[in-house]
Structure formats: structure tokens, C-alpha cells
Structure 1
Amino acid sequence: MTDLATLAEKSETTFILALFVDLNGKPCAKLVPVEAVHALQTEGVGFAGYAVGSIGQEPKDPDLMAIPDPTSFTPVPFIKEGLAIVHCDPHVEGKPWPFAPRVILRSVLQRLHDSQGLSASVGAEVEYFLLRRAADGTLVTADPGDNAAQPCYDARGVTRMYDHLAAVSRAMNELGWGNYANDHEDGNGQFEQNFEHADPLTTADRVITLRYLVSMLAEERDMIATFMPKPFGDRTGSGLHLHLSLWRGEAPVFPSEDDARGLGLSGTAYAFAAGVLEHASALQAVLGPSVNSYKRTGAVSTTSGASWAPRFPTYGGNDRTHFIRVPDAHRIELRGGDGSANPYLAIAAALGAGLDGIERDLDPGTVGGDNGVTRASLPRTLLHAVDALTADPVVCGALDAAVGDSGLEVASYFAGLKSEEFLAYHSQVSAWEVERYLTAY
């Protein structure tokens, strides 16, 4: 068993952020001094679950105990000297809490192994905007020179943000994540920083950690880093693209030299993709879990010329217009997710949908098409996505993966949260409504 105290001593850690996220992906933590590291490892640290946010508790419920996973121990001295993060699995009364996203993902991974003897590897592309507030309070691009009509991959834009991008890159590489590229994305002020794939739990932990690092390092330079899916109506939105592959032991399951469809995939890979496509509408409630998400997937184009967000559940080869892109025979890229997605839930739901495809031996249809069957567009709003979720027992089953015989209903709770979120948004009177209706009648 990895010992937290030993890890802290070797890394000269003096304080540990014991961290987990709620269903919305909000990072919650307590700052634990290294002098209390033994108690942290053996007992965890307590939280009032209702105060955490969306994690299935009421004020009357017993404490949520965050039990650290020492394998996730991450020193972050580039944020604060002596600081480290450890990701935790929330427990209640000694049992893993079924509403905790990390616990849900663990359960889906166990189901994948028990059903098919498979494990998974996941890569994630994290996109975000760097902004500032102008004197009048409006959000503006942090780099005033970043105003080109097509700024994607602009060497000058990357260079002007060199200090920030280099700081994030060095942090990732010091942590052993294997940062291999940092680029200006399609929107003014938008960037992406990539790291190597890993097992699903590690990748989800790293997405949460990276969001934290990017936000803190941006603040040091008086900038706002936002992972909001679409902060500007006329710019490309920010995705969280997931690269998924399956393994049996050390052997990859997706590649095949005998593939008449031409993508180099095995029957298992096609069945997995078919499951994701069949459950795409329900998946969007998890992949795009905010009202703002549907401004991204609903966009037809942007000032740069394309939205880069899928509108239909199709699949194809190295073609970024599809819901599932197949860049090579070793993986599929799921492009429906955005910056508001909780990575634990997004990965769990996607693997659950793919597993259903394998278990039922589903056919994804013609590459690049619908095989004569018209597939409806992806949900147009969060409310439509929630309706699709509640009607889909497979995706609900992935969210409920850890409930066992407890009688708890995570999927129903999540759907309720998202319905309330949409209705709270819908109850606001917008400038668009005033402009359209004020003198229309």
C-alpha cells in the first residue's frame, strides 16, 4: 500500500488538498497539514455533504468522509510551495458513496472487467479560454492582439501567451503526464494543452487537476481561465474530447487487419462505437451537462467558419465533423463532450454505452452515414437531453453503477438537478427577449 506520509516527505509537502468533485464537477477540498497525514490516510477527512453541493445529501445526513487514494498523490509546488493534491473517494458510514463521481467510474470499470474481461485507456483534450474583465465588467480576450478572423494555430498568439502555456506545460511534465502539445484553438483567446492517455481513473483525475492548475496559474497573471462550453456566441466552443480504447490484458482490442469497412477496427470496436451512437442523445446529458452546452452543439458556424461540434450521432474516419471520429485503428474519439462535463461521469457513461453495444453486438451502420436509418439530431437543449437520459436505462445504469441494493437513485437525482438548472435559466428574462418582444405587439 502506498503510504501518504512517505510520499509527502519525499516531495517536501507541507499541506495536502484532499480533493473530490460533486456531480457538477465542482472541486471540493480541505487543506490538511502534513502533521495530520496519518489520520487523513486511515480515517479520511469529513465534509457536510449537503454543503458540498450536488452529491445526493440533505442537511440531516451523516458526514461525507473523503478517503484519499494515495496513487493519485500529486505535488503542485508551482501553485504553492509545499502543496500537494490527493484525489479522494467519498464514503458515508464506511461505504463508498454512490453519488460520488469517482466511485461511479470505479464501479463501471469493474462492470467492464466482470462482463468482458476488459480494461480501458482514455485520453482527454482539454480546451479553455483565457479572458479578462474590461472596465465595464464585460469579458474580453486576455490578449488584446488575439483578434484574427482565423486564429487557430497562430504562432504569434501562442508566443504572446508563452509564459502561461509554458508554466502549465512544465507543471504537467514535472508530474509525469507527458505534455506533448500546446496550441491556440479556433476561437480568439482559446487554447488546448494535451497530455498522454492513461487508465480512465487517472485521466479523469488529471482533467480535474489540470482545470485547477490552469485556473490558478491564469489568476497569477490576472486572467480568467474558463472551461465554459461557449462563452461567446460567435466563437467556437470548448470541448472535452475523449479518446477511448479497450484492452484485454496487454493486448489492444480495437485494431484489426481484417476490416471490410476500411477503418482498421475489430468487430468489438464497431460494436462499442455502435453502443455509444445508440445512446448518444442520453449521453449528451452527461457530456454536455449545462444550459450553455447546447449553444455549442447547436451552433451552425462561427466567425472562423466552423463550429467543430457534432450535431448528429454519426461516425467516420479522420473526420472531425462526426460524433465519433476514428483517427486510427487503436482508438475512437468521442467529440460530444464539452468543458462543463464531469470527466468521471462522462467516461463512465461512455464506457457503459459502449459496453452495451458489445454485449448486444450492435452494428454502427455505414461509415460516415446512417445505413439507411435516419438518426435524429443530438438534443437541442439541456431539457431535451435530460428527457433522453431518463428514457435510457443503459446510461442511467452507468450513473447508478455504484448503488447496489441501497435503493438510492443517482441517475434520477442527476436528471432532477439538470432539469432544475434548465428551468432556473428559463425563468430569467434575457436581453434577446426584450429586444424581440418589447414593442412587437
Structure 2
Amino acid sequence: MAIDTAAALSAAPSSTVTELTPNRPSLSDLVEATGTTFILALFVTLSGKPCAKLVPAQAVTQLESDGVGFAGYAAGMMGQDPKDPDLVAMPDVTSFTPIPFVQPGLALVHCDPHVEGRPWPFAPRVILRETLRRAADLGFEVKVGAEIEYFLVDKDDAGRLTTADSSDTKRQPCYDARDVTRMYDHLTEISTAMNALGWGNYANDHEDANGQFEQNFDYDDAMVTADRVITARYLLSVIAERRGMQATFMPKPFTDRTGSGMHLHLSLWTADGSAFPDDTDAKGLGLSHTAYGFIAGILEHACALQGIIAPTVNSYKRTGATTTSSGATWSPRFATYGGNDRTHYLRVPDSNRVELRGGDGSANPYLAATAAIAAGLDGVERALDPGTPGSGESPSDSLPMTLLHAMDSLASDSVLTAALDIVGSGVADYFMTRKREEFFAWHNTVSEWEIDHYLTAF
């Protein structure tokens, strides 16, 4: 899909570069104070690919003032053609993260891509920032927690995907102390890194499938959490590789096992605190009208939302699963909500938050937060009611069966497409076009399943 660069730039917000204040240290100050020798200036594409240049500390002043340039088309899904001007990644000083446990003297800073001096509206961080501004205009700050599930895998001599820990073979391995202990070095290295960064890692566990793990950290501002998801995926990948393993966030790498989700815990806050609790709630969950409106908005937009929080062909092998070797899929198939019940699309574990369980490990955290917040705020503004907790699971509540169905739902949802588009930038159409191409590229590929079922069937 051809993008009109001039039109996209005219739609972009005026600036997203961090404004320095007398009380906020510069990037140069932080580099000097932490003994940083190299900086990864990082941004992600719409597909979630982390892209970076390695900048020496001696060039930090140039990085801070001028950014660092990238060929946007070469980076991937960034709304550019080869003829377009450079993406210039401008660092957000507030995201500066020393990561000496990866390499001594290394730090990372998340960046907002600009084109010709203006924030590029196809940049996921830029998109989320606009949604958070809209929430602020309504009087809300958005807090988000993210659960990152992943597999540790390897390949055998025949090239088949295997569990990295060959002893991890139990039918129900979830929480097994022995399986966790065998991965002690990996899990504790990640936990120690998270806590050194001030993320508040509070649990590390073996999940439902053989080879599957989750490491939790505290919730925070939506942008902070999205940055941390990207940083965590990077850390998990490089640290696993050191031990001869591969960390994968692919939603469902094994047909017979539970898939990997990326559950989002969402809440709205005002100057008085969380806007979600209400002791007078007649529905019995202890929630306010604001919280129920937020829930109803997410449920109303759930089918379109899936196209953003479950954005790959493989995503629908997870949500479409009917059983796994452990006995449960732990992934929703219907847009329903309820209390502390993990079978629902939206779980309410307590009165301070709602847990969105439809997303998976392939989701771009900036876009996922953008879409979930936009859907929820639409419900708040329209004072929608989600109905009785636990109701639903009729065909009308069914989530999309494939990525193509999800794109069709997204195309008809003006609220979520508007959240992706910054004043008509064309991001939504570009995203949907690329995802439909992804679906048909898979659909046109002959699989082993087809060979097994049809080769001698006729």
C-alpha cells in the first residue's frame, strides 16, 4: 500500500521529544552518571520488531540533539517506501535503561521516530502517546500491567522444535517446583535484572505448557509498561541465547500445548486515586460505573480489538484451540466478562483493575494498549453497561476465527481505526492491508497437514 508521506506528516502531532526541565537530567548526564559506554537507540515497528543502532557514549550529545537515522522501509512495517526520507529516532530521556547484565557499559533508550522534524504517525510509541493524551483530556491516567508468557525452545538434529529442557515432559507441568529449579539460572538472572531496573519483579513461574514460563513485574503508566515489555522481550531473548536456548513469544509454537498470552491489567486513575472501585456496586464485583463502562467498551469492540492484540495468523491457533495436553487452553473464545474466573475474555480479579486475556505474545504492546484504552474509553464516554457478569457465550459473543476475520472486524470499527490513525494518517488501512497480505501468504502455503490428509485421500 502506497503511503502519502506529506499527508502523514501533516497529520502528525507537533512533537513527542522529551522536554528537559531543570530537575530532569539530560541523556548526557545519565550516560556519565551510569558509566555507560554504548547506547542502544531503539524503536519498534508496527509488527513489534525491535530496531536499534548502537551509539557510542562519545556521540551522546549528537544523539540527544539530532537523533539517529534509519531507512524506514528497511526497518520493516513503518509505513515507508524506499524513496522516503529517513526515520530519525529521537530518544525519550525518561526511558533511559542501563543494562550492564547484557554487556558491561550498555544502556538502552526508547525512541520516538520522526520524519523531517515531525513525529512519524506510523510509530507505535507516537500512536500510544496520542491515546494517552486523549485519556488525560477526559481526566484519566491509564495504568497497565502486562503478563509476558514465553517458551524456551531448541531444535533437534532434524530441525524440529523441541523444549529446551528435555526433562520438562510432565502432562501438567504448571508451577512444578522441579521444572522451575532446573531453569533456576535463567529465571533468576532475568528476575535480578528486572529488580535492578526497579521494575518490581514479584514472581517467576512455570506456566501450563512444557517449556513455558512467565515472569511478572509491577504495573505502571501505560507507556512505561509498554517500554518494559519491549525491553523484557529483548532481555529474555539475548539471555536465553547465551545458554543455548531460544525464547519465543510466538502465540502457539506447539499444536498440542497451551499458547502464550500477553494479558493486560488495565485501570483508570484520577487525582483522587483509582476510578474503578465502588463499594455500592449492585453487580457484586465492587466496581464503579466508570469501570463497567470501560468493560462494556472493550466487550463491544472485542472482535476488532483482537486484530490488534492478536495480530498474527498463529494467534488464532491459540484462541481457536478446543483442548490441549494439559486439559485447558486458558484462552478465551467468547467476549464475556466475570469475576475471578480465568475463562472470561475480561477477568475482574479485584476492584482495582480488569484483566484483558485475549492478547498474545505477538502483540505490539504500544498498539495493544492503544486499542484497549480506546475501546474502554468509548464505553466510559457512552456510559455503556456490560450486563450481568458471567453472561454471554452465544454465537454473537464469539471472537474472530482467523486473522482475516479479525481484520474484517477492525475495518468496520471506526473507534479503533481512529485510535490507530492520528488525524487521518492512514495507519489503520496500512496495518490491515499488511495483515491481510500476511494471512494470504500463509493461506497460499501448502502445509504438512494438507499433505498428510490429502496426498492419497482421493
TM-score, normalised to structure 1's length? Answer: 0.97
Is 2:399 the counterpart of 1:375?
no
Q: Report what 2:307 is aligned to.
A: 285
For 1:113, the aligned partner's letter is A
For 1:131, the aligned partner's letter is V
| Secondary structure of 1:6 counterpart | helix
1:313 Cα shift? Answer: 0.2
| Secondary structure of 1:375 counterpart | helix
1:373 Cα shift? Answer: 7.6
Q: Report what 1:37 is aligned to.
A: 60
The answer to whether the 8 Å contact 2:337/2:345 transfers is yes
Q: Report what 1:310 is aligned to.
A: 332
Q: Report what 1:395 is aligned to.
A: 416
Q: Report what 2:15 is aligned to.
A: none
Residue in structure 1 matching 2:377, options 334, 351, 355: 355
Q: Report what 1:275 is aligned to.
A: 297
| Secondary structure of 1:350 counterpart | helix
Residue in structure 1 matching 2:351, options 326, 329, 352: 329
Deviates more, 1:68-77 or 1:131-140: 131-140
Deviates more, 1:184-193 or 1:133-142: 133-142
The answer to whether the 8 Å contact 2:31/2:57 transfers is yes
Is 2:208 the counterpart of 1:186?
yes
Is 2:448 the counterpart of 1:431?
yes
Q: Report what 1:152 is aligned to.
A: 174
Is 2:301 the counterpart of 1:259?
no
Distance 2:272 2:123 in 1: 29
1:251 Cα shift? Answer: 1.3
Distance 2:395 2:258 in 1: 27
| Secondary structure of 2:244 counterpart | coil
1:113 Cα shift? Answer: 1.3
Residue in structure 1 matching 2:436, options 390, 415, 419: 419
Distance 1:438 1:197 in 2: 51
Q: Report what 2:14 is aligned to.
A: none
1:177-216 map, 5 Å: 177-216=199-238
Is 2:138 the counterpart of 1:121?
no
Residue in structure 2 matching 1:103, options 126, 138, 146: 126
Q: Report what 2:3 is aligned to.
A: none
1:53-104 Cα deviation digits (max 9, x unpaired):
0010111111101000010000111011111000000111111111000000
1:437 Cα shift? Answer: 1.4
Q: Report what 2:323 is aligned to.
A: 301
Q: Which runs of 5 or more residues in structure 1 are unaligned?
A: none
| Secondary structure of 1:163 counterpart | helix
For these two proteins, the number of residue pairs brought into alignment is: 435
Q: Report what 2:159 is aligned to.
A: 137
| Secondary structure of 2:329 counterpart | coil
For 1:80, the aligned partner's letter is Q
Distance 1:285 1:254 in 2: 27
Distance 1:375 1:15 in 2: 53
1:132-187 Cα deviation digits (max 9, x unpaired):
11111111111111000000000000000000000000000000000000000000
Distance 1:63 1:91 in 2: 8
1:314 Cα shift? Answer: 0.0
Q: Report what 1:408 is aligned to.
A: 425
- The CA RMSD measured in Å over matched residues stands at 1.0
1:181-240 Cα deviation digits (max 9, x unpaired):
000000000000000000000000000000000000000000010000000000000000
Distance 1:364 1:373 in 2: 15
Distance 1:167 1:10 in 2: 24
Cα distance, 1:373–1:289 mapped onto 2, change above 3 Å: closer
Percent identity reads: 66
1:374 Cα shift? Answer: 5.8
Q: Report what 2:406 is aligned to.
A: 385
1:19-49 Cα deviation digits (max 9, x unpaired):
0000000000000000000010111101111
Deviates more, 1:288-297 or 1:132-141: 132-141
Distance 1:46 1:178 in 2: 34
Residue in structure 2 matching 1:248, options 252, 270, 274: 270
Distance 2:249 2:206 in 1: 15
| Secondary structure of 1:136 counterpart | coil
| Secondary structure of 1:268 counterpart | helix
Distance 2:136 2:203 in 1: 32
1:250 Cα shift? Answer: 4.5
Distance 2:456 2:257 in 1: 30
Distance 2:123 2:258 in 1: 31
For 1:160, the aligned partner's letter is R
Q: Report what 2:71 is aligned to.
A: 48
For 1:117, the aligned partner's letter is G
1:440 Cα shift? Answer: 2.1
The answer to whether the 8 Å contact 2:122/2:427 transfers is yes
1:318-362 Cα deviation digits (max 9, x unpaired):
000000000000000000000000000000000000011011111
1:279-318 Cα deviation digits (max 9, x unpaired):
0000000010000000000001100000000000000000
For 1:169, the aligned partner's letter is S
| Secondary structure of 1:240 counterpart | coil
| Secondary structure of 2:306 counterpart | helix
| Secondary structure of 1:282 counterpart | helix
1:375 Cα shift? Answer: 2.9
Q: Report what 2:258 is aligned to.
A: 236
Q: Which runs of 5 or more residues in structure 2 are unaligned?
A: 1-19
1:392 Cα shift? Answer: 0.4
